[in-house]
């Protein structure tokens, strides 16, 4: 066995040596020179230009060589595997294992002739002329490799010359005065200005702006090609006089505003059959076959656009969005048709909608495996079923069943009576989502609202410790006020937690920690919650996008006020609901994320988390499920989940000491650089910092209270990661390196005890951490 392993290692080492020793130019075609990247792009006489101009030149001249280092056109990787394989396994045979490996693993060499610097210089000059540098000149020089003349870089020299500016802009009169008025009223939004650098890019942007403006103003048949520019460079040196025509070769129909005349909706199950039955409401009609699956009033409400309304870009998307919110249709499409000339030089339009039904019942089964930082592993199962359009108004009835089973892979220290059964969790949830606002009184809906009723129940068993029941019932309203903002208001949420059974080991733990004992007590949690979410990813311009979520919650205050009004007495100092105490607290949290596109699939992602919860009234302790914790695959990746804090508290050694490492205050910051490696495989470098604290001084958790020295109690880590991005699914592996543990000695910053490798955090997860 050892001899076989030795032979294998020798074979691998020999193969690698042969590849590295192999020349990257051995099998280049005769007369060719291997291109190894751009040496430099230098401006003659120290010319300085705008970033847009420099980018236009770089876009033409910067060509990446084989195996570029981090995608750079200037640096080549020291390990050009594709070229090594091209030259090391090269064979003139057209079959065999060597040819098969060579064909699939090689990288064809990029040569100077393929890059064609002469042509690129000419194209760069054209690009500079489009950016206002009409007399620019671009030249190049080959820079051979010091030891191998068959390899060379390209050095470019750019003489920009003097820049030309726009000296005047004249918008010519249109055949239709209405178009002139629309353009005149939006002149301040123009992409071209007197005095700015002449730029073909700016002219194209102005074309697009005017075209979109006209269509959104009702001129459905207008196109950006009807905008034409005439440039005069003879009036003065380095000056361009512009004339703008907005009806260049435009047909008369394009200059007529369009108005909605009628709306039709065709419903089918995907067969494409013509409708046989119709429902009409004035200018709106619904065509279908067989039985109409939905009440007509909800469909007509979705088609609520006034007859005679001037067309704009958002009309079709508003209607299809309303139809999609009915949770009944798989596809919703819209087409516009000219159906004739209307009054006073207008065009009548038909909005033609088509929707395909979803199957009424859908279901899914998810099987997953779980590995936790506390050595718990096991399978999980989730079954989901949905009944669409339950009552003919787009209602969505959902059922969800969850089951998880875990056993311990570490040293068995809990006891000898647990048998094979370790931990499990069983849960179920039923919810009904209604795509409109439901209140006891009638209220006009300014925004689309979804009302959701849900009931959930869970039974949790932690082997050797406890068995717990948690039930939740709530009513919530979710709505969006624009393309970036969404809101969830939960005016009623009632949760109940109860310990069904406990072990002697658990009783010993909580008896030594009064706060932990109170957090596990049987209690009701009546709360009101509100969440605001901001996401500009669909409308963001430039290289940055943001995602934010802010939540507030209040528990028990209103119930306490109502019970006080009706004269309900406290029992042993506590006010009770249905013979059980209820929790009282206020809670707020924030999650702010920013993503900066660095180009070439490089992204800098940052996140800041903050939260605070304060208990009052019935108890000074927040329920365990509402407390904050930190650490793990989506938090501080150098530490296990619930292994940090509160503050500088150091728990007693024990396998389940993590149970009391929670807090009332949380601060966390993360930064991650994501970059491509090969194909769908990406890398990441990250750093994390954060901790949790208590608001009150607790004798059972010394040094855990939030103080002015909290900044010195931040746990920090850094690390590297790999991501396999499949689009709909991201597989992630992170290796976290802890740097500072606030519970350890503060004599030095890197203060972790034990071996370096023993302190590393390994995380295999699905999806990005944020």
pLDDT of residue 180: 85
Q: Does any domain span residue 122?
A: yes
Distance of CA 269 to the CA centre of its chain: 33
For residue 99, what are the CA distances in angstroms to 80, 103, 423, 544? 19, 6, 55, 46
Token pair in block for residue 13? 């080492």
Residues 196 and 105 reside in one and the same domain = no
Does one domain contain both 239 and 292?
no
DSSP letter at 620?
S
Closest CA to 703 of 751, 644, 623: 644
**E strands in 503-641:** 523-535, 544-555, 576-577, 580-581, 585-599, 602-615
**CA-CA distance, 311 to 347, in Å (whole number)?**
10
> Is residue 235 domain-shared with residue 251, that is, in the same domain?
yes
Do residues 621 and 700 make contact, with C-beta atoms less than 8 angstroms apart? no
Give me the pLDDT at residue 654, please: 54
Q: Which two tokens stand for residue 103?
A: 């064909």
Is 111 part of a structural domain of the chain? Answer: yes
DSSP character for 172?
P
| Same domain membership, residue 343 and residue 264 | yes
Residues 262 and 352 in one domain: yes
User: Can you tell me which residue has the tokens 């009054």?
Assistant: 343
Element at 364 (helix H, strand E): strand 361-371
pLDDT in tens, 551-560: 999 988 777 7
**Number of compact structural domains in the chain:** 3
Q: What is the pLDDT of residue 410?
A: 44
Q: What is d(CA 483, CA 711) in angstroms, rounded to the nearest whole number?
A: 37
Q: What is the pLDDT of residues 339-376, one digit of tens each?
A: 877 555 678 899 999 999 999 999 998 877 655 545 55
Host domain of residue 87: 23-159
Cis peptide before 646 (omega within 30 of 0): yes
6-10, 62-66, 629-633: segment of lowest average pLDDT: 6-10
Asked if residue 266 belongs to a domain, the reply is: yes
> At which of 202, 226, 255 does a domain end?
255
Indicate the pLDDT class of residue 415, thresholds 50, 70 and 90. Answer: very low
Is there a domain that residue 707 lies in?
no
Could you tell me if residue 717 is inside a domain?
no
How many residues in total does the chain contain? Answer: 770
Distance, CA of 263 to CA of 610 (rounded, Å): 49
CA distance 254 to 112: 50
Does residue 534 lie within any of the structural domains? no
Measured in whole angstroms, how far is the alpha carbon of residue 321 from the centre of its chain? 21
Q: Which residue among 140, 159, 178 closes a domain?
A: 159
Say yes or no: 244 and 295 in one domain. no
C-beta separation of 436 from 451 below 8 A:
yes
> Which helix H or strand E contains 397, and what residues bound it?
strand 396-408
Q: What share of the chain is helix, strand, coil (3-state, %, to 5)?
A: 20, 40, 40
With 90 as the cut, is the pLDDT of residue 567 above it? no
pLDDT in tens, 493-517: 998 888 888 888 888 777 777 777 7
Q: Is 88 part of any domain?
A: yes
When pLDDT is averaged across residues 116-141 and rounded to a whole number, the result is 90
Domain shared by 226 and 265, yes or no: no
Calpha distance 597→119 (Å, rounded): 31
CATH of the domain at 206: 3.10.20.310
Q: Are residues 314 and 246 in the same domain?
A: no
How open is the CA angle 582-583-589, to the nearest 5 degrees? 150
pLDDT at 574: 62
Could you identify the residue written with the tokens 């809101």?
487
Whether residues 112 and 32 share a domain: the answer is yes
Highest-confidence range of 41-45, 172-176, 198-202, 563-567, by mean pLDDT? 198-202
Average per-residue pLDDT in the chain?
84
Between CA 96 and CA 101 the distance in angstroms is: 9
572 Cβ contact partners less than 8 Å away, ≥ 6 residues apart: none
In degrees rounded to 5, what are phi and psi of residue 753? -90, 165
Q: Which of 181-185, 388-392, 541-545, 573-577 has the lowest mean pLDDT?
A: 573-577
Q: What is the pLDDT of residue 658?
A: 55
pLDDT tens profile 143-170: 888 888 888 899 999 988 888 999 999 9
Identify the domain boundary among 255, 277, 309.
255
Do 752 and 701 touch, CB atoms closer than 8 A?
Answer: no
pLDDT band, very low/low/confident/very high, at 22 (cuts 50, 70, 90): low
| pLDDT tens string 266-310 | 998 877 788 899 999 999 999 998 889 999 999 999 998 999 899
Does 179 share its domain with 151?
A: no
On whether residue 500 sits in a domain, the answer given is no
Are residues 80 and 179 both part of a single domain? Answer: no
In the structure encoding, which two tokens stand for residue 669, read together? Answer: 């910051």
Q: Which helix (H) or strand (E) holds 568?
A: none
- Least-confidence region, from 237-246, 431-440, 723-732: 723-732
User: Which of 446, 424, 426 lies closest to 437, judged by CA?
Assistant: 446
Average pLDDT over residues 23-50: 81
- The answer to whether the predicted template modeling score (pTM) of the entire model surpasses 0.85 is no
Same domain, residue pair 276 and 173: no
Q: How many CA atoms lie within 13 A of 351 on its CB side?
A: 33
């Amino acid at each position: 066995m050892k001899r076989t392993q030795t032979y294998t290692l020798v074979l691998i080492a020999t193969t690698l040596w042969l590849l590295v020793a192999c020349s990257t130019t051995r099998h280049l075609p005769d007369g060719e020179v291997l291109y190894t990247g751009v040496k430099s792009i230098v401006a003659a006489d120290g010319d300085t230009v705008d970033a847009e101009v420099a980018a236009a030149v770089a876009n033409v001249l910067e060509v990446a060589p084989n195996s570029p280092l981090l995608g750079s056109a200037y640096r080549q990787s020291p390990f050009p595997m594709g070229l090594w394989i091209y030259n090391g396994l090269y064979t003139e045979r057209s079959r065999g294992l060597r040819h098969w490996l060579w064909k699939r693993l090689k990288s064809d060499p990029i040569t100077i002739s393929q890059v064609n610097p002469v042509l690129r210089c000419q194209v760069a000059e054209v690009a500079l002329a489009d950016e206002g540098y009409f007399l620019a000149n671009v030249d190049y020089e080959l820079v051979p490799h010091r030891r191998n003349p068959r390899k060379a870089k390209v050095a470019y020299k750019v003489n920009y010359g003097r820049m030309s500016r726009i000296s005047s802009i004249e918008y010519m009169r249109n055949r239709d005065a209405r178009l002139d008025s629309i353009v005149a009223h939006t002149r301040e939004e123009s992409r071209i200005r007197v005095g700015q650098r002449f730029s073909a890019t700016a002219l194209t942007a102005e074309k697009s702006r005017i075209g979109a403006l006209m269509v959104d103003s009702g001129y459905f048949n207008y196109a950006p090609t009807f905008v034409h520019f005439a440039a005069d460079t003879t009036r003065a040196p380095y000056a361009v006089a512009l004339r703008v025509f907005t009806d260049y070769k435009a047909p008369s129909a394009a200059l007529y505003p369009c108005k909605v005349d009628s709306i039709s909706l065709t419903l089918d199950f995907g067969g494409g059959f013509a409708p046989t039955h119709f429902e009409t409401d004035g200018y709106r009609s619904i065509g279908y076959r067989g039985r109409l699956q939905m009440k007509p009033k909800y469909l007509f409400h979705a088609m609520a656009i006034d007859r005679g309304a001037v067309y704009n870009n958002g009309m079709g998307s508003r209607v299809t969005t309303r139809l999609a919110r009915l949770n009944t249709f798989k596809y919703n499409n819209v087409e516009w048709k000219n159906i004739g000339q209307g009054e006073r030089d207008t065009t009548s339009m038909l909005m033609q909608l088509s929707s395909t039904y979803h199957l009424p019942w859908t279901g899914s089964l998810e099987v997953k495996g779980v590995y936790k930082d506390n050595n718990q592993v096991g399978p999980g199962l989730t079954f989901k079923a949905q009944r669409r359009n339950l009552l003919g108004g787009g209602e969505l009835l959902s059922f969800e069943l969850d089951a998880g089973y875990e056993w311990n892979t570490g040293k068995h220290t809990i006891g000898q009576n647990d048998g094979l059964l370790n931990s499990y969790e069983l849960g179920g949830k039923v919810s009904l989502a209604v795509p409109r606002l439901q209140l006891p009184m009638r209220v006009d809906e300014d925004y689309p609202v979804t009302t959701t009723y849900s009931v959930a129940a869970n039974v949790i068993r932690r082997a050797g410790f406890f068995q717990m029941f948690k039930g939740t019932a709530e009513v919530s309203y979710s709505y969006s006020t624009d393309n970036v903002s969404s809101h969830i208001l939960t005016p009623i949420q009632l949760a109940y937690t109860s310990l069904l059974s406990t072990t002697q080991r658990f009783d010993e733990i909580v008896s030594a920690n009064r706060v932990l004992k109170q957090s596990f007590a049987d209690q009701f949690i009546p709360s009101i919650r509100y969440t605001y979410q901001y996401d500009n990813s669909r409308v963001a311009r430039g290289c940055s996008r943001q995602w934010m979520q802010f939540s507030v919650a209040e528990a028990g205050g209103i119930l306490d006020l109502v019970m006080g009004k009706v004269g309900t007495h406290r029992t042993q100092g506590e006010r009770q609901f249905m013979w059980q105490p209820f929790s009282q607290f206020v809670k707020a949290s924030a999650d702010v994320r920013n993503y900066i596109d660095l180009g070439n699939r490089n992204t800098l992602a940052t996140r800041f988390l903050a939260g605070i919860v304060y208990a009052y009234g019935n108890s000074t302790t927040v329920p365990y499920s509402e407390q904050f914790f930190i650490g793990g695959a989506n938090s501080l990746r150098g530490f296990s989940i619930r292994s940090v804090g509160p503050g500088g508290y150091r728990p007693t050694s024990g396998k389940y000491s993590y149970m009391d490492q929670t807090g009332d205050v949380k601060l966390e910051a993360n930064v991650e650089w994501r970059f491509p490696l090969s194909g769908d495989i990406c890398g990441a470098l990250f750093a994390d910092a954060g901790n949790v604290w208590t608001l009150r001084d607790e004798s059972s958790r010394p040094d855990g209270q939030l103080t002015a020295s909290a900044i010195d109690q931040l746990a920090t880590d850094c690390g590297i990661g790999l991501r396999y991005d499949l689009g709909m699914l991201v597989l992630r592996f992170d290796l976290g390196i802890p740097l500072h543990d606030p519970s350890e000695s503060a004599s030095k910053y890197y203060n972790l005890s034990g071996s370096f490798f023993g302190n590393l955090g390994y995380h295999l997860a699905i999806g990005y951490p944020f």
